[in-house]
Structure 1
Amino acid sequence: MKILLVRLSSMGDLIHTLPAVQDLAQQRPDVELHWLSEAGFADIARLHPFVKKVHTMKWRQWRKNLTQAETWHEIGRLKTALQEEQFDFVLDSQGLMKSALFAKMAGAPIYGLDKHSARESWAAYFYRQKFVVKKGKNAVWRNRALFAQVFAYTMPEEQTFGLTVPETGRLNDLKKPYYVALHATSRDSKLWPSENWVALLQKLNTDHNVKVYLPWGNAAEKTRAEQIAANLPFALVCEKMNLLQAADLLDKAEGVMGVDTGLLHLANALDKPVVGIYTDTDPVKTGVQVSPWARNLGNVAQIPTVEEVYRVLMECVAAKKNNNKAV
């Protein structure tokens, strides 16, 4: 059975779909799974070895150039490529009009959420088969519940992401042991004060003699990283990285602390000790998947202190080490 999964964006949405892919790999190994995603997030899909092929679209670019012939040529080439695969059906797990329209390009029956379960109810009118998934649950659970219904298996009790960083994403010469500080996010109100980062990094180095890497995604984030690291010789501002390289950096870390950002969820998916630092969003809605080694701190207008973040980070690191010893 050859299936196309449509989950286009954003980074967090793709990451929250991965446990469902892991369930599918365990319960239905006969399925050949392809994935259609926004090109900028395609590396997230490539982190799961069960995904045989990743197809990419560029809607964020195309929508700005809809009057140009080349845009429509690219859309046409994607449509041809998808139809040549001859999928048995398409699963649109995003439940948007946009995702439903791209799912339709494959020329196969589309399955998805019913109008009461989808994020945009009109998307359900494109679906051959529709499934009810209770709202109010977190995104990971909703994806897993949808997959279990579509592919006719009972959702496993254990939730895992099942990720593997491919060889093409491996980084060399990382200075171990190290932590990763995810200081950058999409909105200034979600930032943690720079002086807090400096104090936290200093305490980590003083107590544990470790390096700390600071990744970034644009010029403003790089400047912020350089400012934090300015007087901290053990703090290392990363080179520009793609998502696979960022995954490798996170995967080899002793622990990760970060604000509300996609890379925080990626570290969580890689099963690392993680502390989410929330200052302007509710972690019940956008936080990491909680475990003994993954915790959320803060909330709207509730900024965690340096001491609180450090203490919880050390608790998470210890819990992960104890779990590894017990396995």
Structure 2
Amino acid sequence: MALRVLVVKTTSMGDVVHMLPAVEDLLRWHPDAQVDWLVEAPFAAIPALHPGVQRVIPQAWRKWRKKLMERVTWQALGKVRAALREQPYDLVIDAQGLLKSVMWALQAPGLRVGFDRHSIREPLASAFYQRKVAVSRSLQAVERNRRLMAAALGRAFEPEVPAQFGLAIPQEATWRAPVDRYALLIPCASRIEKRWPEPDWLAVGERLKTAGLGLVVLWGSPDEEQLAQRLAGPLGAAVPPFLTVREMAAVIGRAQIAVGLDTGFSHLAAAYGLPTVGVYCDHEPGLAGLTGPALVQSLGGKGRVPERAEVLEAVERALATLVVSPACD
């Protein structure tokens, strides 16, 4: 009988992307496993793009927690609980490591597995796991997730096996870049502290243009769209309309290279195998740096905004990995 596994990894986009290699490992060891995934609704498109994930169960806790006294909220909560309890699982793997995530894990019948109290973000959550796994908190997120999955399955972690993400590129596309070969600029972030100076973005964009690439500037909110348009004007770049995560994945997966802030879109670009330069202005990349099968470079950190020259040097290294088409000779 096929192994049934529920993955609980709900937020945020980058964290969800970082869980994909662990699912790849699971399917390498158990090709016929049935994998379900509980995730916040805005990010449900990410596990849905993995062909090995049979069922994605979306929830909207970020929205529901603000309306807990409303009947409609309890009805929605009940639907998710019913979905989790349709069939028993062999393993319920909570890779989020929070009280809110383990409360969801408790709704699903099955052996609950998670990080032990020394490895987890909220130690109290580990009390609810039936199997606890020790994984150093100093490791990068992808490796932590892969080690958790290996232990849950009674396997030895295989560091010699490269992390694979297994994401399909959506074939349908509501918006396409005006050129076939293009670079992504991902300059937008929800917090001002994470942003990089606009003149530096313009310099990077100009260098990518001289490499024969078109430019696409990504955004996710009205405020971010204004920044994207400001950069796109002098660069002659394309700015897509508002796109869902799935629609954005179609744009990202077809690009050649990406330069972006520490955002979910940058992590998605790296997962799709784009040479990706990450610009970290307010967060250390060590535990959540870019990971992917192509050349990925995470620059900067907490209190250390990357210099323009440093990013341009990384762009040169990334460009050197691209296969040059005759049109760009």
The counterpart of 1:35, out of the listed 37, 53, 72, is: 37
2:271/2:293 contact within 8 Å kept: no
Instruction: Write the distance in 1 (CA, Å) between the matches of 2:251 and 2:16.
Output: 19
TM superposition score normalised by structure 2: 0.91
Q: Do structure 1's residue 215 and structure 2's residue 201 form an aligned pair?
A: no
- The superposition leaves residues 195-240 of structure 1 with CA deviations (integer Å, 9 ceiling, x where unpaired) of 11122212322x233221011110000001111122332x111111
2:204 paired with 1:200: yes
2:206 corresponds to which letter in structure 1?
Q
Matched residue type, 1:284: G
Matched length: 320
Counterpart amino acid of 1:191? R
**2:255 maps to which residue?**
253
Deviation at 1:173, TM superposition (A): 5.5
Alpha carbons 1:292, 1:320 under 8 Å: kept: no
1:325 matched residue in structure 2: none
Q: Tell me, yes or no, if the aligned pair for 1:254 and 1:317 is still in contact at 8 Å.
A: no
Contact 1:182 1:258 in 2 (8 A): yes
Partner of 2:327: none
Match of 2:167 in 1: 163
- CA contact 2:46–2:246 (8 Å) conserved in 1: yes
CA RMSD of aligned residues (A): 2.0
| Amino acid in structure 2 at the alignment position of 1:228 | L
Partner of 1:226: 229
- When residues 148 and 174 of structure 1 are mapped into structure 2, their CA distance, relative to the original with a 3 A threshold, is farther
1:264 aligned residue: 266
Taking a change above 3 Å as real, the CA distance of residues 282 and 85 of structure 1, as seen in their structure-2 partners, is same
TM-aligned CA deviation for residue 320 of structure 1:
4.9
Which deviations, in whole Å up to 9, do the C-alpha atoms of 1:46-98 show, x marking residues without a partner?
Answer: 12211111001110110010010110011111111221133233111111110
Q: Aligned partners of 1:66, 1:153: CA distance in 2, in Å?
A: 41
Instruction: Compare 196-205 and 300-309 and name the one that shifted more.
Output: 300-309
Of 289-298 and 148-157, the range deviating more from structure 2: 289-298
How much has 1:194 moved relative to structure 2?
A: 1.0
Matches within 5 A, 1:83-102: 83-102=85-104
Task: Select between 25-34 and 55-64 the one with higher mean Cα deviation.
Answer: 25-34
Displacement, 1:2? 1.3
Q: Any gaps of 5 or more consecutive residues in structure 2?
A: 325-329
CA contact 2:102–2:125 (8 Å) conserved in 1: yes
Q: Secondary structure at the match of 2:184?
A: strand
Q: 1:250 Cα deviation (Å)?
A: 1.6
Is 1:144 paired with 2:177? no
Given the superposition, is the C-alpha separation of residues 110 and 301 from structure 1 closer, same or farther in structure 2, using an over 3 Å criterion? closer
Q: Which runs of 5+ in 1 are unaligned?
A: 323-327
Give CA deviations for 1:138-158 in whole Å, capped at 9, x if unaligned.
111111011111112233322
- Give the aligned partner of residue 195 of structure 2: 191
2:284 equivalent in structure 1: 282
Normalised by the size of structure 1, how large is the TM-score? 0.91
2:253 and 2:272 in contact (8 A); partners too: yes
Moved more, 13-22 or 166-175: 166-175
Which one of 108, 111, 115 corresponds to residue 110 of structure 2? 108
Aligned partners of 2:288, 2:248: CA distance in 1, in Å? 21
Does the 8 A contact of 2:172 with 2:250 survive in 1? no
SS of aligned partner of 1:284: coil
